[in-house]
Amino acid sequence: MINRSTPDGTMRSVRTALRVLEAVAELQPVGLSELSRKLELPKATVQRGLSTLASAGWLENDPAEPARWIVSTRAFIVGATVGDRGGLRPQALPFMNALAAEVQETIHLMIPDGNTVVLIERLDSPHPVRAFSPLGARAPLHASSNGKAILAHRPDEEISRYLATELSPVTPHTIVQPDMLRRELDLIRERGYAVADEELQDGVVSVAAAIRPGNRSPVGSLSISGPKSRMPQALRADYGKKVRTAADNIAAALPAASPT
């Protein structure tokens, strides 16, 4: 048995804690049992990692469900700083505020990270019933409007590789058929915005557009999200145009990406 005071034992503990942090960031809010299954580790081991990260200020209990865990503001700030080296968030905020004032729904700013998108800024709707995701939340590219908007503007070979992976449903409405998703991505490129109709959260509809400085690869995406009752089919094209205009304005305010 490895003594935890040895260098090998310390490194093992650090690696375990980092795995716990990554899993919480992916699944939040999440409980001990789900984390144990996800990481294939004993509950006692996961609990030690949770306690260590919480005492260091990286994790905290969900105020709504104290038995479940979320990443802390400290963890989010560090992650957002790394992911926002191009200054996306400060450039986006004025346009996000203008869009939020116009549509009165929740506005999300997300950045790509591998096969997911990560929420780095959110402006909440003034309505008591509204879409909500915690800062730092992740979503698969195929299951969210933000993710689909980014995926649609990736090179064809990257899209093909992604479609060849196992596309897991998040809700019963998530598009997981590769041919159907490819047609959806073609439509997104044609009209300039993506729609997720209860594909990430039951009862929630979102409309998103990619942020593409210099008309190149997306550095992020912007979305309008709300309850399906306030996001009927008749409004989606108008919201799509509005979010695309805001995304284009953000892109214009950023330095153009270098050719790849």
Indicate which CATH number applies to the domain containing 56.
Answer: 1.10.10.10
Q: Give the domain-ending residue among 37, 71, 105.
A: 71
Q: 112 and 172: one domain?
A: yes
For the chain, what is the domain count? 2
Q: How far is CA 7 from CA 12, 41, 121, in A?
A: 9, 21, 39
> Is 127 within a domain?
yes
Position 171 scores a pLDDT of 95
Do 33 and 159 sit in the same domain of this protein? Answer: no
Q: Could you list the pLDDT tens digit for every one of the 260 residues in the chain?
A: 344 445 566 778 888 888 998 888 888 888 999 999 999 999 999 999 999 888 888 888 887 788 888 887 666 666 655 555 557 888 899 999 999 999 999 999 999 988 999 888 899 988 887 676 777 788 999 999 999 999 999 999 999 999 999 999 999 999 999 999 999 999 999 999 999 999 999 999 999 999 999 888 899 999 999 999 999 999 999 999 999 999 999 999 987 543 33
b/e map of 136-158 (b: 16 or more CB within 10 Å)? bbbbbbbbbbbbbbbbbbbeeee
**133 and 216 assigned to the same domain:** yes
Residue 70 confidence (pLDDT): 85
* 98 and 140 share one domain: yes
One domain, residues 192 and 163: yes
Residue 125 lies inside a defined structural domain of this protein: yes
Are the beta carbons of 132 and 123 closer than 8 angstroms?
no
51 with 98, same domain: the answer is no
Closest CA to 75 of 144, 11, 140, 28: 28
Structural domain range at position 122: 86-253
101 plus 27 within the same structural domain? no
Tokens of 154: 């990736």
Same domain for 201 and 224, yes or no, is yes
Residue 206 lies in a domain: yes
